[in-house]
Amino acid sequence: MRISKFKGFMLALLFAVTLGAAANVQVTASAATYTTVSTKTVTKAAYHKKSTSGAIYNKAHNKRIATMKGYPNTTWYVTQQATLKHSNSKGIYYYVANKSGSVKGWIWHGYLKKGTAPFGLKYAKNAVALDYTTGKAVWSKSANTARPIASVSKLMTLYLVLDKIDNGSGKWTDIVKTNDSGLVAMGNSASCGGFKFYSNHKYTVKELYDAALLDSSNNAAIALGQWVSGSNAKFIKKMNAQAQSWNLDKASFVSASGLENSDLKAFGYSYGSANANMVSAKDVALIAQHLIKDYPQILTDGSVGSKTVNGQLCYNYNNMLQGRKYYQASLNVDGLKTGYTPLAGYCFVGTGQKAGKHRVITVVLHDENEFTETRSLMNYAYSLGMDA
């Protein structure tokens, strides 16, 4: 069968393009290949990243496993050394693995420096570990920068509730006004509520205290604030006055619950010009310190895993308590408060006391892994001393 000149030309062109494409693929694959010149076992030694540059690969160097940027505070353990050849150049590479052995591979030696990595938190934007006894921050990360703190704001609200009872101007059995339409609507809201105010029940201070502390009920916190001061506005002024009396210059409140005004507006409880409570991690820790010192019962109350209040389960989401996923017996965590809004991220104030050590208070703000990082932070704080 004869082929026309045009068809013959097109077939030849197609063959050339296909051959060229195949050739390009082979060149690319070849360019990515490293060959091993020599390998030897070395005495196990700790290293950490020199900068954010560099990555860990398999030995052939055609699969990237991890970047140094993604593991800013990881200690890598070197057990092998190899000379790898790439094109006309040779380099010394280390075989590394993290402590658990979950990430391992080969990296050019120049991306590492000898020694264990300095302690750090990967996810929390702001954090602090405070020695409860001395009030000293033993470790911090942007701890003096004010930011939204979500429901850990309730620590100040609960302090003022306990203060009113302590000074004799209120009792646990006092009935709190809970029939405001905004508070009822908030309790029925899927995103802002969770604890319902039923019309056939008269709620006591103690019931709302438990709901606010354990269930982080927003309407309970606001109702308690109104019980303390007579109105939401007067209570928020009291929150700010209390912060000022403690010289907390990085603490400003517009909400008794920690909800932002963008959410509170729909229920008639917005206050002030700012959208959110703005408090630094250090000042949050100091609020917790005052709360524990003046009213240590908060530790007993805050270590309760769950409690039924008027037929409603109030579940404590502190997952560092005994029996929970992140519990560590030696830390003896017995508090204190979780928090979350999309703006504030996951926030957590934790506290515990190792045997023979001072109590530690930790705060992580805008975290993604708040309990794991809090546990790491507590253990690191104790590694620095804090002896009783």
Last residue of a domain, one of 86, 114, 142: 114
Q: Same structural domain for residues 325 and 305?
A: yes
What is the separation of C-alpha 108 from the centre of its chain, rounded to a whole number of angstroms?
A: 32
Answer yes or no: do 133 and 275 share one domain. Answer: yes
CATH number at residue 313: 3.40.710.10
| Closest residue by Cα to residue 297 from 173, 166, 175 | 166
CA-based nearest residue to 381, from 197, 136, 151, 152 = 136
Among 114, 136, 162, which residue terminates a domain? Answer: 114
Enter the DSSP assignment of 387: B
Catalytic site residue from 49, 141, 153, 154 = 154
Average pLDDT of the residues of the chain:
92
Quick check: is 243 in a domain?
yes
Q: Note the Cα 242 to chain centre separation in Å.
A: 27
Residues 329 and 350 in one domain: yes
Using CA atoms of 65, 67, 68, 73 in order, give the dihedral in degrees to the nearest 10: -70
Q: What is the pLDDT of residue 87?
A: 87
Structural contact between residues 32 and 64, judged by C-beta atoms closer than 8 angstroms: no
Give the chain's domain count.
2
49, 141, 151, 257: the active-site residue: 151
pTM comes to 0.82
Q: Does residue 205 register a pLDDT over 70?
A: yes
**Both 344 and 204 in a single domain?**
yes
CA within 13 Å, CB half, 356: 4
Which of 208, 210, 215, 165 has its CA nearest to residue 183? Answer: 208
* Model pLDDT, residue 284: 98
Note the pLDDT tens digit of each residue in 293-337: 999 999 999 999 999 999 999 999 999 999 999 999 999 999 999
Residue 189 sits in the same domain as residue 75: no
Going by their DSSP bridges, the two strands 104-108 and 306-309 should be labelled as unpaired
Q: Which of 216, 229, 280, 303 is catalytic?
A: 216
* Domain end (from 79, 114, 149): 114
Q: Are residues 84 and 163 in the same domain?
A: no
Closest CA to 155 of 358, 378, 349: 349
Residues 110, 182: one domain?
Answer: no
Structural domain boundaries enclosing 296: 126-383
| Separation between Cα atoms, residue 85 and residue 74, nearest integer Å | 27
151 counts as catalytic: yes
CATH number at residue 68: 2.30.30
* 154 carries an active-site annotation: yes
Q: Are residues 203 and 280 in the same domain?
A: yes
Co-location of 107 and 134 in the same domain: no
pLDDT at position 3 over 70: no
